[in-house]
Amino acid sequence: MSSSKRNSLVSKITEEFKRLEKLFTDIRSSIASLESLRRRAEKAENPIEKDPALLNYVNLTTVNRVVASFSLSIANSVEKLSDEVSQLFTETASLLKLLDSLTEELQEACHNQIQNFLVFNELIIAVNEVREILIQEMDLTCYSACLHISPTLVPPVAPAFHLASSYLSERSITFSLWREEVAPMFSVCKM
């Protein structure tokens, strides 16, 4: 995953969360306001509930206007809250898409890192193998060369070592291994 794409997604997600946070605050405020309106409307609907003697002092037309006003305010608050909840769903869907995109990018990056790790691990094993084979090939070549330079000066060695040195090819086995097997692996690896 490119750093700029990841940073862009992270920035977009951060901005989306800021909008959601404001929306959550607005929704909580709208809920509190709606609850308050409903409590006050309930009190306005029944002004004489506690004391029926107040009926002589209460103008029912005014009470009906106040109740109608509260009903209108409640309807407006309900509409506002519904719009905010609808916007919450829209914003959440947008945020979920961004989070899905970021997850895909991270999974791809993780997969690439795992692939790179596996390639690096194979490279380390292959380079160590080349190193070991080179040391063995150098030992055999030096022994064979010394044996031909001065057979009497070369100390006796195990028969298997003597036999192996007698089968040395004219070309380096290590270089063939490097050229055909190991070096091409570096083109696959992203360093």
Domain boundaries, the chain: 3-188
Q: Quick one: tokens of 107?
A: 């999974």
Unique residue bearing structure tokens 């895909």: 104
Tell me the C-alpha distance between 167 and 157, whole Å.
Answer: 16
105 CB contacts (<8 Å, ≥6 apart)?
1, 5, 6, 9
Q: What is the pLDDT along the chain (191 residues), one digit of tens a residue?
A: 577 888 899 999 999 999 999 999 999 999 999 999 998 888 887 766 666 777 777 787 888 898 899 999 999 999 999 999 999 999 999 999 999 999 999 898 888 888 888 888 888 898 899 899 888 888 777 777 676 677 676 666 656 655 665 556 666 778 888 888 888 887 776 65
Task: Give the pLDDT of residue 31.
Answer: 93
Tokens representing 165?
């040195």
* Structure tokens belonging to residue 93: 């869907």
